[in-house]
């Protein structure tokens, strides 16, 4: 369902460049329910925003189903967002309109995508346990209830892929368990592929697989594996631990310090292109000396 290789995202603000993703690799199988964990600032939301078509990658490969998100046009991206993904934001105020009722909130994205279906909107709210709250305005609902409305909204377009950024971040354990149970049901009964970003390791027991993004974002590390997936993938998915470097538009790249130190490269390196590879090494004059 998802395949990212060497994914890079650089935010540019004024003169400062923030490398939020530095060559990230991740694959998610169709029908999987998995979690991405990592410290604050490690790039979790950045990754999710790219997968959700809300932001563009800077470099690398990123495919979701049939879509190549590096190459899609703006129009295609709009189609992608409407058809393929459901998104639950870290701050759910972005999903919700406070002065509309729960039901109206779910119906709105349906109207936008031209698939208005009141019965389905009601059904979704029943799914998340809010069948008795259809007519309540959002501001009359608790935080946990609002979060469940946000889940119902994210499903309004019948997405194949559900992306949830810290969906349980601001609710108590009981509500958090309830939300995870809803995700599991969606995953099992509707076959929705689900990616949940969290910094809560306790959620690990509730998903098929957990992947950690580390601060450098150079690689992903598998904390928990889905044994079925390992078999199905023929061992292809795990143990991907290749390191990438960022190559900017003018061709500059950053070589990890450890590599340079171990070769004794300092200030100057020799570079060779053999038609296939670029070889960077200690300058010959230094080697001989």
Nearer to ligand ATP, 16 or 250 (CB): 16
Residues touching ligand ATP, count (CB under 6 A): 14
The site string for ligand ATP over 71-90 (x = CB under 6 A, - otherwise) reads: -------------------x
Rounded to a whole number of angstroms, the CA Rg of the chain reads: 22
Residues 1 to 40: which contact ligand ATP by CB under 6 A? 11, 13, 18, 20, 38, 40
Regarding 42 and contact with ligand ATP (CB under 6 A), the answer is yes
Residue 65 CB partners (closer than 8 Å, separation 6+) = 1, 84, 160, 161
Residue 136 or 170 having the CB closest to Mg ion: 170
In terms of CB distance, is 46 or 168 closer to ligand ATP? 46
44 binds ligand ATP (CB under 6 A): yes
Q: Is 262 in the site for ligand ATP (CB under 6 A)?
A: no
Mapping DSSP onto H, E and C, the string for 77-134 reads HHHHHHHCEEEECCCHHHCCCCCCEHHHHHHHHHHHCCCCCHHHHHHHHHHCCCHHHC
CB nearer to ligand ATP: pick between 106 and 197 = 197
Strands 161-165 and 278-281: unpaired
Q: How far apart are CA 104 and CA 73, in angstroms?
A: 31
Question: Per-residue string for binding with ligand ATP, 183-202, x by CB under 6 A?
Answer: ----------------x---
Residues of span 35-94 touching Mg ion by CB under 5 A = 45
Q: Which of 213, 174, 197 is nearest to 33 (CA)?
A: 197
Burial 92-118 (b: 16+ CB within 10 A, else e): beebbeeebbbbbbbbbbbeeeeeeee
Q: Is 43 in the site for ligand ATP (CB under 6 A)?
A: yes
The torsion region of residue 26 among left (phi > 0), alpha (psi -120 to 50) and beta comes to: beta
Closest approach of Cβ 270 to ligand ATP, in Å? 35
Is residue 198 at the binding interface for Mg ion, with CB under 5 A as the rule?
A: no
Per partner kind, with CB cut-offs from 5 to 8 A, the member of Mg ion, ligand ATP, none near residue 41 is ligand ATP
46 binds ligand ATP (CB under 6 A): yes
Kindly tell me which of 11 and 259 has the beta carbon lying closer to ligand ATP.
11
Helix H, strand E, coil C: the string for 158-195 is CCCEEEEECCCCCCCHHHHHHHHHHHHHHHHHHCCEEE
Kindly list the residues in this chain that would bind Mg ion in the complex (CB under 5 A): 45
Give the interface with ligand ATP as residue ranges (CB under 6 A).
Answer: 11, 13, 18, 20, 38, 40-46, 90, 199
């Amino acid at each position: 369902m998802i395949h990212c290789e060497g994914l890079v995202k650089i935010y540019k603000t004024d003169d400062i460049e923030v490398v939020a993703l530095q060559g990230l690799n991740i694959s998610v199988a169709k029908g999987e329910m998995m979690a991405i964990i990592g410290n604050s600032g490690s790039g979790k939301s950045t990754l999710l925003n790219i997968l959700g078509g809300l932001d563009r990658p800077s470099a690398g490969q990123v495919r979701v189903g049939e879509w190549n998100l590096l190459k899609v046009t703006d129009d295609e991206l709009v189609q992608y967002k409407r058809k393929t993904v459901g998104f639950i934001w870290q701050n759910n105020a972005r999903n919700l309109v406070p002065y509309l009722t729960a039901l109206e909130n779910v119906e709105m994205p349906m109207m936008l995508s031209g698939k208005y279906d009141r019965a389905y909107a009601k059904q979704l709210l029943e799914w998340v346990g809010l069948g008795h709250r259809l007519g309540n305005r959002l501001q009359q609902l608790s935080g946990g209830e609002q979060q469940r409305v946000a889940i119902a909204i994210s499903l309004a377009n019948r997405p194949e892929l559900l992306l949830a950024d810290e969906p349980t971040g601001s609710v108590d354990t009981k509500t958090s368990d309830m939300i995870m149970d809803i995700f599991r049901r969606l995953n099992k009964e509707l076959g929705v592929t689900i990616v949940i970003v969290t910094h809560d390791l306790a959620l690990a027991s509730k998903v098929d697989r957990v992947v950690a993004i580390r601060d450098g974002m150079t690689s992903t590390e598998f904390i928990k594996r889905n044994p079925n997936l390992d078999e199905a993938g023929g061992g292809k998915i795990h143990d991907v631990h290749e390191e990438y470097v960022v190559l900017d538009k003018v061709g500059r790249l950053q070589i990890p310090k450890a590599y340079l130190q171990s070769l004794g490269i300092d200030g100057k390196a020799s570079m060779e292109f053999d038609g296939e590879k670029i070889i960077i090494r200690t300058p010959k004059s230094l080697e001989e000396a």
